[in-house]
Each structure stands twice: as structure tokens, then as C-alpha cells.
Chains A and B, each alone.
Chain A
Amino acid sequence: MRNALLESGTLPLHTEFSIAGVRCAISTNSPAILAHLSRFTPVASGGEPGFRVSVLELAVGEDQSSDMHFRGMKHFVFALLGEGNRFVLDFRRRHAAGIVSCEAARDSKFWHRIFFPIVIGTLGATFGLIPLHCACLDSGGEGLLIAGNAGAGKSTLALALLDYGFTFASDEWTYLLARDGALTLHSLGAPAKLLPDASRSFPGLCQLDLHTAMNGELSYEVDVSTWLGVPQITQSSLSRTLFLRRVSRPGCRFTPCDEEFAFSFFEQSMERLPDELLDAKMQRTEIIRKMSSTKSWILETGESPEATAGAIADFYRRERL
């Protein structure tokens, strides 16, 4: 049996940084992995980390599959993240530990697009961070969440809103953090993911290559900073939520929705947690209850993303007055 020992002696390199507003302490044997963390905000060591990561760079063993595979039971989650990359996430200790191949250790995309989104999305419930399948934009320091079922057009609408003075944070995953009584929205700075039909709104997409996402979907990956020349922010404060519904009837209609609707929408979309994680489950429900009390509307639209974005901008102006 091949043995990988994760302990102080084998993981001599340490650093701490802030990701999605949460302190992470990482220990590793790999300078290459530490180098990928420079885009996160460094923090002085000494405080209690929200979660810890222990990762050993190790040459790939024989006959290792390249599957992405996830399973969970009690306070553990297993994550197989491609050839040679094996992790176990321990909810009781808020700890992600495992081994990575030399190739993954040197691959910035692995850490920023796969590892950290999965780890904070999975372990987040233990430290007050909730992954929301929502787009997030900012206007004057006020965060706008756009929720909706898959295929509702959140990503295209998010990019269309950039023409109306909104600043882009994320189009797919937004992380809600409850800390010191405040709710903040965080993005990991991931590129926007647009389905092929978004090229009707953004013809320039056709010049880009289509990528296959982890869920098998074909999409264009767009770095808004380089492609559109606009900034991408990573934090905002929760101010408003829109629940986007595509309908066949022309026009855009904004209907205020009550707290129970918002609560049910988000609570029912969350992964179920076992009783062993009762504290995390209760904390998550409390945070969702709190976020549900912010202003929210159901937006029914039968218009193009561009026209819908214009209607949101008008509505936003009137609503702020």
C-alpha cells in the first residue's frame, strides 16, 4: 500500500490568506501550490482559521483513474479531483486534506477553478459561508443577487447589466458570508460561463473556444476584465435579490416577494446535511432566514437579455428613490 503521511514534518510550508472573506491556513510541501495563492489576500497568522488545508504534492501512483468523483458520509466528504488528486474533507475539524499530483500542483486553474470552489462550497456550512447558485452584481456598493433555475439566463443577463453601470462579481456561484451580524457576498473571481446561445447577445463570443465544464456543459469562458475591459469585484454587501423567470409573455414584470418565498427557494436548493452536522445545518438555516429578509422580487421576463437589463436598471433607479 502506498502511504502518504500528512503531518508537521512532511508539510513544512505554511501560509494564511483570506478567501471569500474567510481565513484559510494551508500547510504543504509544495512551493508551487503556495505560489498560486498570491491572488488571495494574505493575513497575519495567529487568528483562528475558518478552515484548514493540508496538501502533499506526490507523484501519481500506478493505475490511478482521472475521474471526478464525490461521496459523503457522516462528517466526511471524499473528493477525487482527477488523476492523482485525492482529498477527504473533515467537517468536524473544518479541514481539507489530501494529495495532489505534481501536474495539479503547478496548475493554477486546478486551484482556482476546482479545488477552492469545491472546498469552500462543501465545507462552508461549518464556518458561516453558503454557496448560492446566483449571479452577483454591484451598484454603488450595493449587491444585487440574481437567482433562478438553471437555464433562466442569469449569466447572459449579468453581462448585459454591465452596459447599465453595474459591476460584475460572478455569474454562477456567489458565496454568502455571515460575519459579525452582516451579510456579505463574495466571488472567487471566476470567469463568466456563457452557454452557446449567449452568442445572440454577444456575437463576439463566436471567436472564442467552447470549453466543457465539470458538469459536462459546453460553454464559453469569459474573463470580463480582459474580454470586456471592465473590472470584476470580489465582494459586495447583500442589498437586493431578483428571482428570474423566463416567460413567453412580452414585457418585464417585477413582483415583490415575501420572506417565505425567498427562504423556501434557497433552503430547498441546499444540499441536505446529516444530523452529525446539526450545528452547521442550523447555522445555515439561520443565515438563509436572515438573507431572505432583504428586499426581493420575482422578475418575469419575456424580453431579450439586453431589454431585461434595461428594465432592471430603470426599476433599480426608481426603487432607490
Chain B
Amino acid sequence: MSLLLNDPLDALHRFTPTPFQSEVYLGGKLIQAESNDAALLPPGVPQSSPVSSRECFSWKLIRDPKAPGRLEPPTKVSIFGTVFAVFMGGACLIAVDREESQLVSFIGSQVDTGEYQHRILPILCELSDLGG
């Protein structure tokens, strides 16, 4: 199930609610993920003990039923070493701010679970500088 509100003053879909949340360890970091689609939450070991903020990375993942088309081959744009964007057509947009430890992504409804896990999730991990 995913949610996407239609608000004429939110043409960019900035305010899509993200009721699904999780905190998991992945690649040595704590990923605090939120999404409007439970299927997009990353797999990992559930967080159980306190961690420092330096080891946290925030992911906000939006399932976007209005995103056009299917996944295209990725183009990664590295912007002065602090911001990274990956474009896979309108079906998948990813941006990461490493200074702020934040990742945001829109993922089209035509992207199935297999494509998400095998083509997108590894990119999210790489952009978040997750080891192992």
C-alpha cells in the first residue's frame, strides 16, 4: 500500500505522508528510513542500542505512482563531493547530502520489488557510504 496526496500547491509531492518507518543497521550505520510504502523500507538488523548521530543516515523513500516510465540506466552526478544525484529516468530519482547524512528518493510504481532490491537498493547503500 502506498499513499500520495494530490495537492495543487504541492506539485512536487514534497508533502507525501510517510507513515511507514524503521530503524535498522545496514553496512555499519543506523538507517532511519521512512516511506509511504512498507515494501521500500530497507532490510537489516533492527536497532537495539543507542548510537551516535555520526553513524546515522536518514532515508526518505516515496513510492510515486505518477512517475513516468520504467527504470533507465543510471546516471550518477557527483556535485563537488558532497551532494550526489542518481537519475534512472522519471521512474527513480535519488539525491544524497553527505554533509547532512540525508537521502531522498522517488520510486515509480512500475518499479517492482525485484528491481528495487537488485538495482536501486545497492545504489542507495553506495550513496550512503555504507560499508560491507
Interface positions of A (Cβ within 8 A of B): 1-7, 54, 56, 61-65, 67, 69-78, 80, 86, 88, 90, 92-93, 95, 97-99, 268-274
Binds A, one of B44-52, B75-83, B109-117: B75-83
Chain A residue numbers with a CB within 8 Å of B12 are 70-73, 77, 271
Q: How far, in Å, is B58 (CB) from chain A's closest CB?
A: 9
A4-B75, A4-B77, A62-B73 known; A71 vs B10 contact (CB < 8 Å): no
Cα distance A61–B87 when bound, in Å? 11
In the complex, the answer to whether A69 meets B75 with C-beta atoms within 8 Å is no
With both beta carbons as reference points, the residue of chain B lying nearest to A271 in the complex is identified as B9
B93, A90: Cβ atoms closer than 8 Å: no
Most chain B CB neighbours (cut-off 10 Å) among A99, A268, A271: A271
Interface size on B, residues (CB 8 A): 38
Kindly provide the distance from the CB of A59 to the nearest chain B CB, expressed in whole angstroms: 11
The answer on a CB contact under 8 Å between B77 and A67 is: no
- A–B Cβ pairs within 8 angstroms, 11 of them: A1-B75, A7-B81, A73-B14, A76-B97, A78-B106, A80-B89, A88-B79, A88-B83, A95-B79, A99-B75, A272-B14
CB contact under 8 A between A70 and B11, given known A64-B89, A92-B97: yes
Q: How far is the CA of A1 from the CA of B72 in the complex (A)?
A: 11
Q: Is B62 a contact of A73 with CB atoms below 8 Å? A: yes
Chain A proximity of B70: nearest CB distance (Å): 9
Known: A4-B76, A95-B79. A74 touches B90 (CB 8 A): no
Closest 4 CB pairs of A and B: A72-B12, A73-B104, A69-B90, A88-B85
With contacts A67-B69, A67-B89, A97-B83 known, is A6 near B97, CB below 8 A?
no
In the complex, A67 Cα to B66 Cα: how many Å? 12
Q: Is the CB of A86 within 8 A of B11?
A: no
Contact B79 A76 (CB under 8 A): no
- Whether A78 contacts B95 by the Cβ 8 Å rule is yes
Which secondary structure characterizes the binding site on chain A? strand
| CB of B74 within 8 Å of the partner chain | yes
Tell me, rounded to whole Å, the shortest Cβ–Cβ distance linking B65 to chain A.
Answer: 12
**Complex contact B13–A6 (CB within 8 A):** no
Further 18 A-B residue pairs, CB within 8 A, beyond A2-B76, A86-B75: A1-B86, A1-B123, A2-B74, A7-B80, A63-B73, A63-B89, A64-B72, A67-B69, A67-B89, A69-B68, A73-B60, A73-B106, A74-B60, A76-B104, A78-B85, A78-B106, A90-B83, A272-B9
Contact B97 A65 (CB under 8 A): no
Residue of B nearest to A86 (CB): B87
- Nearest Cβ distance between residue A223 and chain B, in whole angstroms? 28
Closest beta carbon of chain B to A297's beta carbon, Å: 26
**Chain B residues whose C-beta falls within 8 Å of the C-beta of A90 in the assembled complex:** 79, 83, 97
Residues of B within 8 A of A1 (CB): 73-76, 86, 123
Contact of B64 with A by CB under 8 A: yes
Residues on the B chain within 8 Å of A2, using CB = 73-76
Alpha-carbon separation in the docked complex, A71 to B107 (Å): 11
- Say whether B125 faces chain A, with CB atoms less than 8 Å apart: no
